[in-house]
Structure formats: structure tokens, C-alpha cells
Amino acid sequence: MPDSSVYRSPISRARLVSPITPATVSLAPSAPAIALMTDLATEVPHVVTLDRPIDAALQDMIAFGVRLLLVVRDGEVVGIITSYDIMGERPLQVLQDPFHSDKAHRHTDVRVEDIMTTIDDAHPLRYRWVRDATAGEVAALFRARPDTHLLVVEDGRHPGEVVVRGIFSRSRLDRQLGPVPR
């Protein structure tokens, strides 16, 4: 092996490389919606378990540079949680709920499962619709809904089974199309 191919100096610290953030590309409303979607067929999703404390989940989001985590149980997606859920009123609602008196009493006791949005309640979009939709049509959905993210699913092998295929982010759409009114 050539001497120049091996790093020979003492290593005191080794960090992981940070991915280079691609330049934001401006899109027209007529652009394919798929250009705005984070495609989970090509990008690794960021996940969290149901029992993780919400403060730890928020730290995970900060470390990953994302605002949404897919909530998983036994390898299956059961919901989503966003930074807005954690920093908003949901934890306080859980703490003040008299029907949860046996659970959380302090903010540090609140778990992801206590404030997440279930996969059904997330009202995911169908991938086959997204393939043919425009960025403007996705923007129209964000205008009609308070969501900060929209999940995209495609049919699974069995009835009622879906595969989470992608995620639309309102903030990414705002960067690439211009702000979407809430």
C-alpha cells in the first residue's frame, strides 16, 4: 500500500461528515409535486419510539436537522411527531388532562405516544395522486390544512396496509415556492 494512502498521524477526534445541504431550487406551481417531496425510497427516514421522552425526541430532531420524526413500534410506523407538537400546547394538555392523572405529572414525564399524531389522524396523501400532482396542488392542500407536514403513502401488499413513501414539509414548500398562507 502506498505510504500516502494511509492516515498516519495520531487521531485525537473523529467526527462524522455532515451532508452538504443542496442549494434551494425555486419551483413554479406547475412543477411536479414529487420535486418537493422527501422520498423515503431514497432517503433514510428519522424515527423515534413511542416511549421516548419528548425532550429527547426534540433533541433528536435538532441533531438530525429535521422537524418531524416518524413514530415506530416493532418496525411499523404508527404516527408522527413534530417539533411544533413538542413545543406547543400538546404537552400542557396532557399534563392537565384529569384522565391521565396516573401518567405524566411533569413535562419530563411526557412521552412521544402522549402527544403524537396517529398515522390515521395524519390523513396521508396517496402516492399515486402525488405522482401526477403539481407543486401548486400540494400548496393548495397546505392552505386548506393546518399541518406542517403531509405524509405520502402507497398501497401495501394487503388491504389496509400502506408503505410510508414520502413527506412534504410546509417550510420546504415555502422555501421553494414561496410562503403558503395558513
Domain spans, the chain: 27-177
Fold exhibited by the domain 27-177: CBS-domain (3.10.580)
What values do phi and psi take at 42, rounded to 5?
Answer: -120, -15
Q: How confident is the model at residue 10 (pLDDT cuts 50, 70, 90)?
A: confident
In this structure, how many other beta carbons lie within 10 angstroms of the beta carbon of residue 162? 17
| DSSP E strand boundaries for 14-155 | 38-39, 47-49, 68-73, 76-82, 117-118, 125-126, 149-155
Q: Within a 13 Å sphere around the CA of 109, how many CA atoms are in the beta-carbon half?
A: 11
What values do phi and psi take at 44, rounded to 5?
Answer: -75, 125
In whole angstroms, give the CA distance from residue 81 to residue 49: 10
Q: How confident is the model at residue 158 (pLDDT cuts 50, 70, 90)?
A: confident
CB 58 within 8 A of CB 43: no
Label the pairing between strands 149-155 and 47-49. Answer: unpaired
pLDDT of 101 > 90? The answer is no
Q: Which of 31, 30, 37 is nearest to 154 (CA)?
A: 37
pLDDT tens profile 21-68: 555 678 888 999 999 999 999 998 999 999 999 999 999 999 999 999
